[in-house]
Amino acid sequence: EDDPRPYPSTKRLTLVSNRLPVTINRSKNGQFQYHKSSGGLVTCMSGLGPDQSSNWYGWPGSVESHHNCKVRAELMQDHGAVPVFLEQELASRHYNGFSNSVLWPLLHYQDSLIAFKDCDWQAYQKVNRQFAVEIAFNAADGDTVWIHDYHLMLLPQMLREETEKRGKRLVIGFFLHTPFPSGDMFRILPVWREILEGVLHSDLIGFHAPSYDTNFKRTCSDLLKLVELPTGVQFQDRFVRTSDFPVGLDPEKILDCLQKDEVKRRISALKEQNPNMKYIIGVDRVDYVKGIPQKVDALDLFFEEHPEMLRKVTIIQVAVPSREDNPEYRDLATRIHQRVDEINTKYGDQSYQPINLIHQSVPIEDLLALYASSDVCLITSIRDGMNLVSFEYVACQSERRGVLLLSEFAGASERLAGSLLFNPWDKEGTAAALHRALTMDMDERTVNHRKAEEFVMKNTRYGAYDFKYPSRLRKLTCKNRSAHW
Ligand code: ADP
Ligand code: G6P
């Protein structure tokens, strides 16, 4: 209550997510190190930094630097970020426990991986409350607070409670970056009511894809018996608007980066290394929702059926390390390495390895060079909120007009015209789609690429977020003030 920290600025839009655009950890010699966080949430929200009149609250990663003034000042100054420092065990129960071992598998239909523990649920509530108290302390009456993702689903309700105690009223938006499953799946969660009601204290709730919005409204009407309308649901005395707001990238930034000498050099080097090789690119966090084992199995079948493609095709799979404290993720990484080794032994030799697995975080310049040099991008997610890798690939393909092979279980598939859709559970179908992509003629590739490019260039993160979403929130401020306040 008596936190002496001043509100970092007088800006009126506040972003909140568990993951900040930079994550901090401590090196062996005790220095704090900042590195860019990976993941679609950070990619699409990063443009809304200090220049976009926002402060961004979040957990800075595993830091024992509670109330460290230097860290706080550097985060604010360089990234517009306001750290919410969490005690280590609490953070772990919230992040590894309830968020990533209950909500993440639930929202991605992986019910066999759900590990519900009451102590993790308690921690989830405490962390959401801590965010609410810190934000409420600094917020001004009438501010817009825009909350992101499944780590903070109780925050809309808690923030209302904390601000109303202080006589302040906020406009609250919530955006879910994952899918929202059907009600029959969602009710597996022992605390489904608390989570649904927590989110429903928002004024506006956004999803990546129309089907997630439909599932959410249907779940509210089936489980909570709320009245469902095309534009939202009636909850208590307020109408909560819901809709899909597909996020995009900043394609200009990608195009600028592609012009850098450094990136051009890398593209030429890849070409010179093997001028006749066709490259298939995959970029995924090592996460079971990305379907990397399914991808490797389909590649195995593809080479079995098309031995003529050996030595002509190489798959470059960037596997970005993710959530390594979670044994499920560590086991997955081990399984991927084993399967890739098997395939490389089966089809390769010292001069040729069909799969080049890069299990590390790759700098953006390398990533863009790989996208630009690849003939096909293969995305096999078994569930995925949106998948921004698909957009990044399209943005890098104006010359090559490569083929985007996209799982129909990625949210992007509901939007991105011009991609070849397939079902990653169908190994034969995936292998056949891959063959079709690799042998597609330039005319068809051009037509497809133009459609995809048009969407990616138009549906930028500025279009989707900066103008549409916050301006709708602001409009709601006026409406709700007269209707409910
Ligand atoms: P998810 O959010 O599930 O990870 P997305 O495909 O939506 O999946 O987003 C992944 C994002 O992470 C992409 O924008 C990609 O460029 C980015 N990314 C990949 N590797 C790195 C890295 N090493 N550092 C930072 N961002 C990365
Ligand atoms: C997905 C989630 C984000 C998350 C990101 C990276 O995109 O929707 O909320 O930040 O994955 O995962 P991490 O656990 O490292 O934050």
The CA distance from 347 to 350, in Å, is: 11
The position carrying tokens 């078994």 is: 382
Q: How far is the CA of 42 from the centre of ligand 1 (A)?
A: 8
Whether the CB of 39 sits within 6 Å of ligand 1: yes
CB 393 within 8 A of CB 281: yes
- pLDDT of 325 above 50: yes
DSSP structure string for 334-395: HHHHHHHHHHHHHH-BTTB-SEEEE-S---HHHHHHHHHH-SEEEE--SSBS--HHHHHHHH
Among the atoms of ligand 1, which is closest to the Cα of residue 36?
25
Residue 461 confidence class, pLDDT cut points 50, 70, 90? low
State residue 462's pLDDT score.
57
Q: Output 463 or 239, whichever has higher pLDDT.
A: 239
Q: How far is the CA of 414 from the centre of ligand 1 (A)?
A: 20
The CA distance from 104 to 289, in Å, is: 9
Cα separations (Å) of 74 from 29, 81, 85, 86? 19, 9, 14, 18
Q: How far is the CA of 389 from the centre of ligand 2 (A)?
A: 14
Q: How far is the CA of 188 from the centre of ligand 1 (A)?
A: 29
Q: How far is the CA of 283 from the centre of ligand 1 (A)?
A: 8
Whether the CB of 43 sits within 6 Å of ligand 1: yes
Among the atoms of ligand 1, which is closest to the Cα of residue 285?
4
Q: Which of 28-32, 146-150, 339-343 has the lowest mean pLDDT?
A: 28-32
Ligand 2 contacts (CB < 6 A) are 19, 39-41, 149, 177-178, 322-323, 385
Whether the CB of 196 sits within 6 Å of ligand 1: no
Mean pLDDT in residue range 37-44: 87
Instruction: Give residue-wise pLDDT tens across range 257-282.
Output: 999 999 999 999 998 988 999 999 99
The CA distance from 151 to 220, in Å, is: 20
Q: Share the mean pLDDT of the chain.
A: 90
Phi, psi angles (nearest 5°) of residue 42: -65, -40
Q: Is the ipTM of this complex over 0.90?
A: yes
Mean pLDDT in residue range 44-70: 69
Q: Output 51 or 156, whichever has higher pLDDT.
A: 156
State residue 8's pLDDT score.
37
Nearest to 358 by CA among 304, 283, 275: 283
Residue 46 confidence class, pLDDT cut points 50, 70, 90? confident
The position carrying tokens 């298939």 is: 280
Query: Considering only CA atoms, which residue is closest to atom 9 of ligand 1?
Result: 40
Whether the CB of 250 sits within 6 Å of ligand 1: no
State residue 245's pLDDT score.
85
How many alpha carbons fall within 13 Å on the CB side of residue 123? 22
For the chain, percent of residues with pLDDT exceeding 70: 89
Instruction: Give residue-wise pLDDT tens across range 329-376.
Output: 999 999 999 999 999 999 999 999 999 999 999 999 999 999 999 999
Q: Which ligand is nearest to the CA of 249?
A: 1
The CA distance from 413 to 380, in Å, is: 11
What is the side-by-side order of every strand in the sheet holding 54-59? 81-83, 54-59, 13-19, 144-148, 171-175, 204-207, 238-244, 232-235, 227-229
State residue 66's pLDDT score.
57
Indicate the pairing of strand 376-379 with strand 278-285.
parallel
Mean pLDDT in residue range 215-238: 96
**Residue to probe by mutation, ligand 2, list 22, 25, 36, 41, most atoms within 8 Å of CB:** 41
The CA distance from 267 to 269, in Å, is: 5
- pLDDT of 74 above 70: yes
Both tokens of residue 207? 């999803």
